[in-house]
Amino acid sequence: MRPRTLDEVIGQRHLLGPGTPLRRLVESEAPMSLFLWGPPGTGKTTLAYVVSNVTKRRFVEVSAVSAGVKDVRAAIDNARRELGMTGRQTVLFVDEVHRFNKAQQDALLPAVENRWVTFIGATTENPFFSVISPLLSRSLLLTLESLSEDDIRVVLERAVSDPRGLGGRATLAPEALEHLVRLAGGDARRSLTYLEAAALLADPTGGMPPVSPPKGEEEAIASRGEQAPPAFPPKGEEEAIASRGEQAPPAFPPKSEEEAIVRCGDQAPRITVEVVEKAVDKAAVRYDRQGDQHYDVISAFIKSMRGSDADAALHYLARMIEAGEDPRFIARRIVIFASEDVGMADPTCLQTAVAAAQAVQLIGLPEGQINLAHAVIHCALAPKSNAVVKAIGAAIGDVRRGLIGQVPGHLRDAHYPGAAKLGHGDGYKYPHDFEHGVVRQDYAPEQVRDRRYYEPTRHGAEAPVADRWSKIRDFLRGS
């Protein structure tokens, strides 16, 4: 199912549209060096193949996971030899290029600088941190985005009908299509893998062909001295049939699902949601990350924690995780909740939430779900207080209404030369020089000097805070 031209590539419209740098480079067949940066399954390897195919250049792939400097230099030497003997250029594709160390990346520099190869490096990590500057500055950096749900839908529909895929030998129920789209999470390769597994399970004969040939199959066939099987239908087959006065078979793939079923003797395997669930061991969860379900579930999640129902909160957490919600989004909501709904009633709740967010960023899923659950349970069972969010809301409200005023002179910055002449800092009392570390002086501007923003509750750890704040406030304001 790998595209053969730029027009067949799905997604990445910002890179492949008319007039874009990549399209201009490919169409002009100019020498180039590219870095393709993006998540897995977004088409980095595909774009490298397409560039090679469209420009008729020799394609050589090196994996940074297993290759070393010797392999890189050998590939470059072969490319120079090919260029000198035949004039044919080589596309040197380095997958996972961020795994190369500095010495290995340095080995690429002469080939890139002298245009001995068309270098294309693929990386899932930020190249500004993982690629040496000399190599990056000599290359065009293209950022690939995760495929949208519409893009994944097109990939799957094409795989079902295209002769290179299932070729109409199975039908895909609309509900199963949406389930596969959801499971893919923007990864085209994952969507095709799941579709292939489901097609094999749905076929009662067990004879369903793979969605795409194994990587390197053509090279393996050629190395054995064998002839690759013809494309379907073979080129020129229609002309040969017509010359014998015979009737050509129907077009393949079928024009519609009904034709596929008829040709298969009404036995065309149908891929349903149940089949997909069995194939990938993932139950269908009704959850639309862009629609009502997204907002309904996250709302119920927050309100369950606010209501101290840890079981319900864990249920909604599980629904979001299984539906493919971004765990970083979930973690951010928990961090917000820790201050908005728990606050000073349990100050350690924020520490747990932040730690969980950092853990998710560090280790990802599936293990990160444990850290998220830890934080959810802590937030749900902690004493609740919204005094913090009410306090900042009231203060911002006053500022927006124009209650600002001048900073008292004794609190102004006095560290720079000339500040003393302006009276800045004059009369400031250093609290640590006084008993209990508290001293009476004006802190707020005059316009808001009597405003009360933080009104603590008596819940949990905020009760002693409320007592202390009440005493401090009375002392500072002389009441």
Q: Please say if the pLDDT value at position 263 is more than 60.
A: no
pLDDT score at 230: 44
Strand partners, 118: 91
Extended beta strands in 31-184, E state: 33-37, 58-63, 90-95, 118-123, 140-143, 171-172
Burial of residue 235 (number of CB atoms within 10 Å: 0-12, 13-18, 19+): exposed
Give the tokens for residue 416. 């720079």
Give the tokens for residue 455. 């009104």
pLDDT score at 318: 92
Residue 227: pLDDT band by 50, 70, 90 thresholds? Answer: very low
Distances in Å between the alpha carbon of 455 and those of 221, 306, 459, 467?
77, 19, 12, 11
Residue 455: pLDDT band by 50, 70, 90 thresholds? Answer: very high
Give the least confident one: 16-30, 223-237, 318-332. 223-237
pLDDT score at 206: 53
Predicted TM-score (pTM) of this structure: 0.49
Give the tokens for residue 361. 């960023």
Cβ distance 319 to 369 under 8 Å?
A: no
| Residue given tokens 């998540």 in the structure block | 39
| 77-82 contacts, C-beta under 8 A, 24 or more apart | 79/111, 79/116, 79/117, 80/111, 80/116, 82/58
Roughly what angle, to the nearest 10 degrees, separates helices 273-280 and 188-202?
Answer: 110
Residue 412: pLDDT band by 50, 70, 90 thresholds? Answer: confident
**180-192 per-position pLDDT tens digit:** 888 887 888 888 9
Distances in Å between the alpha carbon of 323 and those of 179, 247, 287, 319?
9, 50, 6, 6
Give the least confident one: 79-83, 234-238, 332-336. 234-238
Cβ distance 63 to 95 under 8 Å?
A: yes
pLDDT score at 310: 95
pLDDT score at 65: 87
Give the least confident one: 38-42, 246-250, 408-412. 246-250
Q: Residue 312 is inside which H or E element, if any? A: helix 310-322
Task: Tell which wins on pLDDT, 386 or 410.
Answer: 386
Q: Residue 130 is inside which H or E element, if any? A: helix 127-130
Instruction: Tell me the average pLDDT across 99-120.
Output: 91
Nearest in space to 434 (alpha carbons), one of 467, 479, 464, 476: 476
Task: Tell which wins on pLDDT, 448 or 277.
Answer: 448
The mean predicted confidence, pLDDT, of the chain is 82
Q: Residue 270 is inside which H or E element, if any? A: strand 270-271
| 431-439 contacts, C-beta under 8 A, 24 or more apart | 438/472, 438/475, 438/476
Q: Which is it for the CA torsion 176, 182, 186, 192, positive or negative?
A: negative
Above pLDDT 70, what percent of the chain?
83
Above pLDDT 90, what percent of the chain?
36
Number of alpha carbons in the 13 Å side-chain half-sphere of residue 39: 13
Q: Residue 95 is inside which H or E element, if any? A: strand 90-95
Rounded-to-integer distance, Cα 427 and Cα 440, Å: 12
Report the side by side order of strands in the sheet with 33-37. 58-63, 90-95, 118-123, 33-37, 140-143
Does residue 347 have a cis peptide bond before it, meaning omega lies within 30 degrees of 0? no
pLDDT score at 479: 67
pLDDT score at 36: 92
pLDDT score at 257: 41
Give the least confident one: 163-167, 380-384, 391-395. 163-167
**341-387 per-position pLDDT tens digit:** 999 999 999 999 999 999 998 888 889 999 999 999 999 999 999 99
| Other residues' Cβ atoms within 10 Å of the Cβ of residue 361 | 12
pLDDT score at 450: 86
Q: Residue 292 is inside which H or E element, if any? A: helix 292-306
Nearest in space to 455 (alpha carbons), one of 367, 378, 392: 392
Task: Tell which wins on pLDDT, 463 or 326.
Answer: 463
pLDDT score at 417: 77
Q: Residue 121 is inside which H or E element, if any? A: strand 118-123
Task: Tell which wins on pLDDT, 395 or 250.
Answer: 395
Listed in sequence order, the residues at least 6 apart from 456 whose beta carbon sits closer than 8 Å to its beta carbon are 344, 385, 387, 462, 465, 466, 469
Strand partners, 95: 63
Rounded-to-integer distance, Cα 382 and Cα 437, Å: 31
Instruction: Tell me the average pLDDT across 97-124.
Output: 91
Task: Tell which wins on pLDDT, 293 or 132.
Answer: 132
pLDDT score at 258: 39
Rounded-to-integer distance, Cα 459 and Cα 383, Å: 6
Q: Please say if the pLDDT value at position 246 is more than 70.
A: no
Q: How is 180-198 classified by DSSP, letter by letter?
A: HHHHHTT-HHHHHHHHHHH
**312-321 per-position pLDDT tens digit:** 999 999 988 8
Q: Please say if the pLDDT value at position 260 is more than 60.
A: no
Q: Which amino acid is at 57?
A: R
Residue 262: pLDDT band by 50, 70, 90 thresholds? Answer: very low
Give the least confident one: 10-19, 83-92, 113-122, 284-293. 284-293
What is the radius of gyration, based on Cα positions, of the chain? 32
